[in-house]
Amino acid sequence: MATLPLSSPLTTNAPFLTKPPSIFIHAKQRDRFRVLCEQNQKGSTKSDETSNGKFDRRNVLLGMGGLYSAANLVSSSSTFATPLAGPDFTKCSRGTNLNTSQPLDVDCCPPVATEIIDYKLPPVTKMRFRPAAHLATDEYIAKYDKAVELMKALPADDPRNFMQQANVHCAYCNLTYDQVGASDLKIQIHNSWHFYPWHRWYLYFYERILGKLIDDPTFGLPFWNWDNPKGMAMPAMFVKTSSSLFDARRNQNHLPPASTDLAYTGTQSVDTPQIISNNLTVMYNEMVRNVQTLEDFYGARYNTGTQPDPGPGTVERGSHAALHVWVGEATSSGEDMGNFYSCGREPMFFCHHTNVDRLWTIWRDLRGSKTKDFIDSDWLDASYLFYDENAQLVRVKVSDTLDNKKMGYDFQKVDTPWLKNRPVARAKKSKVATTTAAPSVDSTIFPAKLDKVVKVLVPRPKKSRSKKDKENEEELLVIEGIEVDTAKFVKFDVFVNDEDDNPNTLDKAEYAGCFSQVPHKNSTRSKTKIRLGLSELLEDLDVEDDEKILVSLVPKAGGDDITIGGIKIIYAS
């Protein structure tokens, strides 16, 4: 039902006018509306404005059109829910290079099916086993090689074909699909809370297709164990040129035995012990220090009516992005692995993301009794479309991805050395924040271009917080209005009260985290944000009583193409 214009007179043929609007709102939804109203009256701690400077459409409708308009915006089953819906494949487009207004020179659109089935997870009778790539047996490698060979041999228009499967990732990440219900906005499954569940479904069906091709219901994808020094080198199974797992478009400087650089900056890494030490610190920050709140691990909320790229989680913007670019060809476009549109053409992509999927499982286990997942229906009811192992187009939901064992697969158990690698401060009780000549954040330095190191003093609204305070609320450094060109690899690191100013040394408590972006095929300006946990970091630096901290933003790649809108400290539970 269309929303009535504000100027339209109320007519008797409008069915909802016969009774007060409250009868159309479920009790839980009415309570939620009451809370929203109270927050707006008191001054909500959660801004109605998104990181892109656009207002949430539901709040606009509540303010302008009242309950009638809000009820008409979404389905009757969930008045306030606007979960992202699986796209309309018949309206897939090549997308447009927004800098040139020309169509993209690649077509990622999948075959169009006439029937879509709501997918139900089958009963688990045999568990699929996902081994660590560096520990895989010769028998397993031969089986995996054969499965990919058969996938590549499928007819070109078979949705299970290797290139068609590669195009799945391209289509969902390259602004190819309109949002259902908001055709002026595009679907992007990166840089938001869709990152983990969407990729889990992608791997799930890819794995099942391979298993069916070799008639092995227990076949599982290998994971590249790059968070462990023993598995950080590029897995040897992908290097043999005669194998179906080989891809010529790889950075030849990073072939085995070179160690993975989880803080890769786009220039050739020097394989030293410092890289291993940095890697372990990166993993600790991404999996422990910076992820006390759900948003900081998963990424920011992204619903129908929301601009793409609202904010990536820790692993996505860090080690995940670094590995994409580290593997990709040493060119500006970074193909295959180093560009979102082509990365599915690299067999190692699936090995890489299987480890990302494994890290999601580990992180949930580390949470213990803490809340592990969003309970928001905007997340749980979000849906995607995939072709299954029978070439049937199916609709899947986020809510079915929360337990990998219920999806029928499990991972080989290996060590997680980063878990005991809490970084140590280089200078405790540093006075650098009181002696620096850096300007205060309330000055006019923002927006600031990151063509050089930017240092700024950031005030702390709360200091000397108790243990209970820190358990209830995480202190977070928010870097917002991060504007970048999506077609370029960009990266910057963030340090707090760092006295030694060595940008290549990350194994210290002063290192707060990073932002990096894998290039897209399309080129447009994107605005996003990141949040970095401070509670443990300030404790390790022993500056919890300080009124200000010194924040250093250090460009590592593409600084000329990075603009920062602002920095602040907030508190979130």
Choosing from 324, 386, 411, 495, which is the catalytic residue? 324
> What DSSP designation does 211 have?
H
Q: How many Cα atoms sit within 13 Å of 68 on the Cβ side?
A: 17
How far apart (Å, rounded) are the C-alpha atoms in residues 517 and 532? 16
Tell me the residue type at 77: S
What are the E-state strand segments in 173-317? 178-179, 182-186
How far apart (Å, rounded) are the C-alpha atoms in residues 205 and 254? 30
How far apart (Å, rounded) are the C-alpha atoms in residues 194 and 312? 10
Q: Tell me, yes or no, if 352 is annotated catalytic.
A: no
Q: Tell me, yes or no, if 134 is annotated catalytic.
A: no
How far apart (Å, rounded) are the C-alpha atoms in residues 252 and 245? 16
Instruction: Determine contact, residues 210/219, Cβ cutoff 8 Å.
Output: yes
How far apart (Å, rounded) are the C-alpha atoms in residues 207 and 210? 5
> What DSSP designation does 288 have?
I
The total number of residues shown for the chain amounts to 573
Strand-strand pairing, 128-130 and 474-485: unpaired
Tell me the residue type at 495: F
| The token pair that represents 207 in the structure block | 């794995």
| The token pair that represents 430 in the structure block | 């540093």
Q: DSSP string spanning 267-316? A: SPPP--HHHHHHHHHHHHIIIIIT-SSHHHHHB----TTPPS---B-HHI
How far is CA 32 from its chain centroid?
28
- The residue among 544, 565, 546, 535 whose CA lies nearest residue 454 is 565
Instruction: Determine contact, residues 153/252, Cβ cutoff 8 Å.
Output: no
352 marked as binding residue: no
Instruction: Determine contact, residues 281/507, Cβ cutoff 8 Å.
Output: yes
How far apart (Å, rounded) are the C-alpha atoms in residues 196 and 189? 9
Choosing from 134, 194, 254, 320, which is the catalytic residue? 320
Choosing from 134, 254, 352, 353, which is the catalytic residue? 353
Choosing from 134, 162, 190, 386, which is the catalytic residue? 190
Tell me the residue type at 307: Q
> Which residues does residue 186 pair with via DSSP β-bridges, in sequence order?
178
What are the E-state strand segments in 244-353? none
| The token pair that represents 105 in the structure block | 């020179």
190 marked as binding residue: yes
Q: Tell me, yes or no, if 492 is annotated catalytic.
A: no
Q: Tell me, yes or no, if 520 is annotated catalytic.
A: no
Strand-strand pairing, 128-130 and 178-179: unpaired
- Residue 400 has phi, psi (to 5 degrees) of -90, 0
Percentage helix, strand, coil, to 5, in the chain? 35, 15, 50
Choosing from 199, 254, 352, 520, which is the catalytic residue? 199
| The token pair that represents 130 in the structure block | 């996902």
Cα torsion through 281, 287, 292, 294, rounded to 10: 140
Q: Tell me, yes or no, if 33 is annotated catalytic.
A: no
483 exposure class (CB count in 10 Å sphere: 0-12, 13-18, 19+): middle
Choosing from 134, 162, 169, 489, which is the catalytic residue? 169
Choosing from 80, 238, 297, 340, which is the catalytic residue? 340
How far apart (Å, rounded) are the C-alpha atoms in residues 57 and 293? 25
Q: Tell me, yes or no, if 190 is annotated catalytic.
A: yes
169 marked as binding residue: yes
Using DSSP's 3-state secondary structure scheme, residue 431 falls into coil
Q: Tell me, yes or no, if 199 is annotated catalytic.
A: yes
199 marked as binding residue: yes
Indicate the annotated binding residues for Cu cation: 169, 190, 199, 320, 324, 353
The residues assigned a catalytic role are 169, 190, 199, 320, 324, 340, 353
Q: Residues forming the annotated binding site?
A: 169, 190, 199, 320, 324, 353
